[in-house]
């Protein structure tokens, strides 16, 4: 099988694919225009978040048999359309779970103790000790919207820190040590709310003005899932009013944002979609991509 690697992938994973009998070309800086020209010659492709695989690209690739995304979601791929064309679409849902969970927990600490603001104050040569009285996260309630692989990893860590964990997930009935509740119950009970679900038609803007109104005053929100699940306009309004005390965002409706007003708020911490960006996660992602492609080349699944 001839494979085109379209986004940055660990060298060890490339070597693993080649050792498994695959012919692999690496074009991890390829433009969408060039991809349309060269991809028809390949049987499979490897993508991450950068490369988008939409219907027009799929339509010019009659030989394409498999798409593997190194990562959790498939929102950058027209997956249903690809499958309708007989193309197998796979991802690596387990590989980056621990890294995203750790970023989520780190963000909760940063919000609770104003770590970003205190550090910025020190860099401005200010000693504003009285301005940074914080809160402990132990004893607080964490509400998880979505308890798939990442949500469960967050729950384990939060419970170890002494938090009570409640969760809403329409597709999950039981999680050890987690109380499953309705979305309205979660919104009213949680001191921290963290999102861990894919962006779909059902989840788009599922957290808007009405849902925020049901939250506790002073709630803190973390989103390391996908942009567009939270209505950013409604969140901005709630952060300015103080209804939401703070937010930590790794993902945005537009990436990179074209309107930066949300992340410029003093009670917002932002990062450029780095949830899976650890050496350990990248290694696991690459290895899982290689394993899935080699298995597919041998048995077609």
Confidence check: pLDDT of 2 > 90: yes
The Cα–Cα gap between 245 and 134 comes to: 12
Active site residue 273: yes
Residues 27, 185, 237, 273: which is the catalytic one? 273
* Percent of the chain residues past pLDDT 90, beyond the cut: 91
Answer yes or no: 255 catalytic. Answer: yes
- Which residues, in sequence order, are bridge partners of residue 194? 144, 222
Between 301 and 257, residue with greater pLDDT = 257
Percent of the chain having pLDDT more than 70? Answer: 99
Q: What pLDDT sits at residue 75?
A: 82
Q: Is the pLDDT of residue 229 over 80?
A: yes
Candidates 226, 232, 236, 288; catalytic one: 226
Render pLDDT for 164-218 as a digit per residue (tens, 0 to 9). 999 999 999 999 999 999 999 999 999 999 999 988 889 999 999 999 999 999 9
- Residues 77-96: b if buried by 16+ CB within 10 A, e if exposed: bbbeebeeeebbbbbbeebb
pLDDT in tens, 112-121: 999 999 999 9
User: SS3 sequence, 124-181?
Assistant: CCCCCHHHCCCCCCCCCEEEEECCCHHHHHHHHHHHHCCCEEEEECCCCCCECCEEEC
Q: Are strands 2-5 and 44-47 parallel, antiparallel or unpaired?
A: parallel
In this prediction, residue 301 has a pLDDT band, given cuts at 50, 70 and 90, of: low
Tens digit of each residue's pLDDT (9 = 90 or more) over 86-111:
999 999 988 899 999 999 999 999 99
Structure confidence by residue, pLDDT tens digits, 70-85: 988 788 899 999 999 9
What's the confidence (pLDDT) of residue 74? 85
Q: Is the pLDDT of residue 145 over 80?
A: yes
pLDDT over threshold 70, residue 122? yes
Model confidence pLDDT, tens digit, residues 267-298: 999 999 999 999 999 999 999 999 999 999 99
pLDDT of residue 32: 94
Domains of the chain: 2-95+279-299 (3.40.50.720), 97-270 (3.40.50.720)
Bridge partners (DSSP) listed for residue 166: 143, 179
Higher pLDDT: 300 or 258? It is 258
Q: Is 30 exposed, middle or buried (0-12, 13-18, 19+ CB in 10 A)?
A: buried
Answer yes or no: 220 catalytic. no
Q: Which of 12, 128, 136, 255 is catalytic?
A: 255
- As a whole number, the mean pLDDT across the chain is 95
């Amino acid at each position: 099988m001839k494979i085109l690697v379209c986004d940055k992938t660990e060298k060890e994973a490339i070597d693993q694919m080649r050792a498994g009998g695959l012919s692999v070309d690496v074009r991890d800086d390829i433009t969408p225009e060039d991809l349309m020209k060269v991809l028809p010659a390949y049987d499979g492709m490897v993508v991450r978040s950068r490369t988008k695989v939409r219907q027009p690209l799929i339509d010019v690739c009659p030989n394409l048999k498999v798409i593997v995304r190194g990562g959790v979601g498939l929102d950058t791929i027209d997956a249903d359309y690809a499958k309708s064309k007989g193309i197998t679409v796979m991802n690596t849902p387990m590989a980056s779970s621990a890294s995203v969970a750790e970023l989520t927990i780190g963000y909760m600490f940063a919000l609770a103790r104003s770590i970003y603001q205190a550090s910025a104050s020190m860099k401005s040569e200010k000693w504003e000790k009285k301005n940074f009285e914080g809160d402990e996260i132990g004893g607080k309630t964490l509400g998880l919207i979505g308890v798939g692989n990442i949500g469960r990893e967050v729950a384990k860590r939060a419970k170890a820190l002494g938090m009570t964990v409640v969760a809403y997930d329409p597709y999950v009935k039981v999680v050890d040590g987690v109380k499953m509740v309705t979305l309205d119950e979660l919104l009213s009970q949680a001191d921290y709310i963290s999102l861990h679900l894919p962006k779909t038609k059902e989840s788009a803007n599922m957290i808007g003005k009405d849902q925020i109104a049901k939250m506790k005053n002073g709630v803190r929100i973390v989103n390391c899932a996908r942009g567009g699940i939270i209505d950013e306009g409604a969140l901005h309004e709630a952060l300015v009013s103080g209804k939401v005390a703070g937010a930590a965002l790794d993902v945005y409706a537009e990436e990179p944002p074209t309107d930066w007003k949300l992340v410029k708020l003093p009670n917002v911490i932002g990062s450029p979609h780095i949830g899976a960006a650890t050496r350990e996660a990248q290694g696991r992602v690459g290895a899982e991509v290689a394993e899935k492609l080699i298995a597919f080349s041998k048995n077609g699944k």
